[in-house]
Amino acid sequence: MATPLSPARLLAVLRAEGCTVREIRSWRTHERDDETGRAFGPVRGVMCHHTGPYTTESGLIDMVYDGRTGLPGPLAHGVIDTSGVVWLMSSGRANHAGGGDPGVLSAVTGESYGDYPPPSHYHEGSPGAADGNDAFYGFECVNRGDGKDNWPRAQYTAMIRAHAAICRAYGWGAKSVIGHKEWSDQKPDPRGIDMKAFRRDVAACLALPAGDWDDISPLTATDAKRVWNLDFVPAPAASTENPTWAPASYLRDTLLRAQAIEARLSALPDLPDAQVDAIAAALAAHPTLADEIAAKVAEKLASRSGN
């Protein structure tokens, strides 16, 4: 449990984590604390959402700030658009989490669960539900939530960084991050994201200095082997059967050609001393002869490689 970050501190930790941040209108004083008589905090974690259907991103951002019929804004502390920009909405209480499972809240507070928090059996309006708006920062991430809308890399990177920024500010681990679907048994968001994998990426971000993480998976041995054996390199001109070769085939062919040249050179007889002396004398008498010989050899090699 912790005291909410000040507006200046929230802005600073997001930028330090590498997020591109935009401040919208009067976000620093925009909250639901006064209207509800309930102050934001103590905070326990960070919650990830998808926005659901929308017409334009700009209109959606305004709606999250202003709210909608029956649910006044702000509806999140920040909106993360598809380009990866974080739009700050509030640093106080926001209407984003609603009611959820007290057992989940306890597990998140203690970071005392395995890959996933215990299943939620509560939602907004359930008797005994915990108030998530008191306890969680919330980021609405622009996505229709239909299972077809993808998560662009720039957006996903910003999502990981934003959630990690809050965790880093409080010294929390990745298990302080949950999805709305893990809080309420009536919510599906963020659809298309496995929160186990999401927390894994948050943990990887937290393991690095602030601002260093990027959504680039390390190359595995399996990946390298697939590339090594993939036919995509234009074949040598002499090849008429297969227009593209794998890197492995190219290297093998090069080795075989080099070995064949080495064998032919090894089979050549040594020049007698008399011939060596004659060549040396000719070169001494004609200083440009060596260059002429080299040019002829290069010309011959070029003509052979073109066949």
Higher pLDDT, 236 or 197: 197
pLDDT value at position 53? 92
Average pLDDT over residues 206-230: 78
Give the Cα separation of 167 and 174 in Å (integer).
7
Q: Hey, how many other C-beta atoms are within 10 angstroms of the C-beta on 74?
A: 27
Decide: residue 148, CB within 10 A, 0-12 exposed, 13-18 middle, 19+ buried: exposed
Is the CATH code 3.40.980.10 the one for domain 7-207?
A: no
The ranges of the chain annotated as CATH 3.40.80.10 are 7-207
CB atoms within 10 A of CB 210: 17
- Among residues 56, 57, 67, which one has the least CA distance to residue 89? 67
Is the Cβ–Cβ distance between 159 and 213 less than 8 Å? no
- Give strand pairing partners of 20: 85
Q: What are the tens digits of pLDDT across the range 19-55?
A: 999 999 999 999 987 777 788 989 999 999 999 999 8
Residue (of 77, 46, 81) closest to 60 by Cα position:
81
CA atoms within 13 A on the CB side of 87: 24
pTM of this structure: 0.72
Q: Give the per-residue pLDDT at 223.
A: 65
